[in-house]
């Protein structure tokens, strides 16, 4: 059972033995899922995907483009022996590009440049006077996305230190980075939302940041204690925040983060931003479908 949207990108490349059924909306997906062995069940709302997946009693393999798998009932899938593969890596490039965009926007205050142009005013001085060159960034979560951010920052002359759970490849471990926060101009968050990372950046971490340093969050809103962030921004204890993600999402119209000083929002657009991303999702599905039929291991299996 497969999304019609993906048909032009995958149909010709799937194994000939697969009997494909294409769905266009939630109802058609739901009507077909009970008999399916394989499903790429993504709808544009995670809760729909979850509901559809739950009815796939025979599913042997379920594929999702999402990197985070909080939308799925993992216990149910395990009980049924359904293998779940996720989309880690599919949207890493546009997310990493948004992180760099956020840093450039912060250094040049490009948000204010756009507002000034919108008002048809000619400024007397640039609103942002910083350079990325010779600054230092701490990237907490140095996996697929974190490393891509680092690669993109190297040509800008930004010195990067990474943090991982394991401390591999010269990165700092979760108990090492806090004492070093004050050394960095950028605190970039690219770690998953887990029990350990929930509210990992709180009042103490924000207070320890270098004056003028910016927080760049492209991970998940709940990795940062939101009231502590609002307080730090209001008191101008940090330079500012570029927030692709917030808690909650969408932000209600009267939420204080909308009007917090020195805050730039990108409304969780980073991971949804490119056509190439959808092509990568299609490539991954085709690769896994061929592996599945041939009895080979699948890529991106969620353990």
**Residue 41 or 139 with smaller CB distance to ligand NDP:** 139
CA atoms within 13 A on the CB side of 21: 15
Q: Please report the beta strands in 8-134, taking only residues with DSSP state E, as ranges in sequence order.
A: 22-23, 38-40, 61-63, 83-85
Task: Assess 197 for contact with ligand NDP (CB under 6 A).
Answer: yes
Residues contacting ligand NDP: total by CB under 6 A: 33
Name the strand (E) or helix (H) holding 186: strand 186-189
Which of 116, 144, 262, 290 is close enough to bind ligand NDP by CB under 6 A? 144
Reference 137, options 163, 114, 115; nearest CA is 163
The 10 Å Cβ neighbour count of residue 228 is 18
Helix (H, G, I), strand (E, B) or coil at 39: strand
Reference 1, options 25, 21, 31; nearest CA is 21
Specify which residues 83 forms β-bridges with: 61
Helix (H, G, I), strand (E, B) or coil at 60: coil
Which of 40, 142, 184, 186 is close enough to bind ligand NDP by CB under 6 A? 142
Q: What are the residues whose beta carbons fall under 8 Å from the beta carbon of 92, sequence distance 6 or more? A: 67, 144, 145, 148
**Residue 135 or 270 with smaller CB distance to ligand NDP:** 270
What string of H, E and C letters represents the secondary structure of 258-274? HHCCCEEECCCCHHHCC
Q: Which of residues 269-288 bind ligand NDP (CB under 6 A)?
A: 270-271
Which of 82, 86, 135, 164 is close enough to bind ligand NDP by CB under 6 A? 164
Maximum alpha-carbon separation in the chain: 67
Positions marked active-site: 220, 249, 268
Q: What are the residues whose beta carbons fall under 8 Å from the beta carbon of 284, sequence distance 6 or more? A: 63, 85, 87, 89, 90, 299, 300
Span of 5-13, 43-51, 139-147, 274-282 interacting with ligand NDP by CB under 6 A: 139-147
Span of 6-14, 51-59, 193-201, 284-292 interacting with ligand NDP by CB under 6 A: 193-201
Which of 65, 67, 187, 260 is close enough to bind ligand NDP by CB under 6 A? 67
Q: Which of residues 201-240 bind ligand NDP (CB under 6 A)?
A: 218-220
**Residue 80 or 265 with smaller CB distance to ligand NDP:** 265
Residue nearest to ligand NDP (CB): 143
Which of 46, 128, 192, 202 is close enough to bind ligand NDP by CB under 6 A? 192
Task: Assess 86 for contact with ligand NDP (CB under 6 A).
Answer: no
Binding mask 91-130 for ligand NDP (x = CB under 6 A): xx--x-----------------------------------
Task: Assess 181 for contact with ligand NDP (CB under 6 A).
Answer: no
Please, what is the minimum distance in Å from the beta carbon of residue 98 to ligand NDP? 7
Name the strand (E) or helix (H) holding 29: helix 26-33
Applying CB under 6 A, which residues contact ligand NDP? 67-68, 88, 91-92, 95, 140-146, 163-166, 174, 190-194, 196-197, 218-220, 244-245, 268, 270-271
């Amino acid at each position: 059972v497969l999304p019609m949207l993906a048909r032009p990108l995958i149909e010709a490349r799937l194994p000939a033995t697969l009997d494909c059924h294409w769905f266009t909306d939630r109802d058609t997906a739901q009507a077909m899922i009970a008999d399916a062995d394989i499903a790429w069940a993504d709808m544009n709302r995670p809760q729909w995907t979850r509901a559809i997946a739950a009815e796939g009693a025979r599913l042997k393999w379920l594929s999702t483009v999402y990197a985070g798998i909080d939308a799925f009932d993992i216990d149910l899938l395990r009980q049924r022996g359904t293998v779940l593969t996720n989309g880690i890596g599919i949207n890493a490039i546009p997310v990493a590009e948004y992180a760099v965009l956020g840093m450039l926007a912060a250094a040049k205050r490009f948000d204010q440049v756009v507002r000034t142009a919108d008002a048809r005013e000619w400024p007397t001085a640039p609103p942002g006077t910083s350079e990325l060159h010779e600054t230092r960034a701490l990237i907490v979560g140095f996996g697929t996305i974190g490393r891509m951010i680092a690669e993109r920052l190297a040509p800008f002359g930004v010195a990067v230190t990474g943090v991982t759970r394991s401390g591999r490849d010269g990165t700092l471990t979760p108990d090492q980075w806090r004492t070093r926060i004050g050394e960095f101009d950028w605190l970039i968050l690219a770690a998953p939302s887990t029990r350990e990372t929930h509210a990992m950046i709180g009042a103490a971490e924000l207070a320890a940041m270098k004056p003028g340093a910016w927080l760049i969050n492209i991970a998940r809103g709940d990795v940062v204690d939101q009231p502590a962030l609002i307080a730090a921004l209001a008191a101008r204890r940090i330079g500012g925040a570029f927030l692709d993600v917030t808690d909650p999402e969408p932000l209600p119209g009267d939420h204080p983060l909308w009007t917090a000083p020195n805050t730039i929002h990108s409304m969780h657009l980073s991971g949804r931003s490119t056509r190439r991303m959808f092509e990568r999702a299609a490539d991954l599905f085709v690769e896994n479908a061929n592996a599945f039929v041939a009895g080979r291991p699948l890529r991106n299996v969620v353990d």
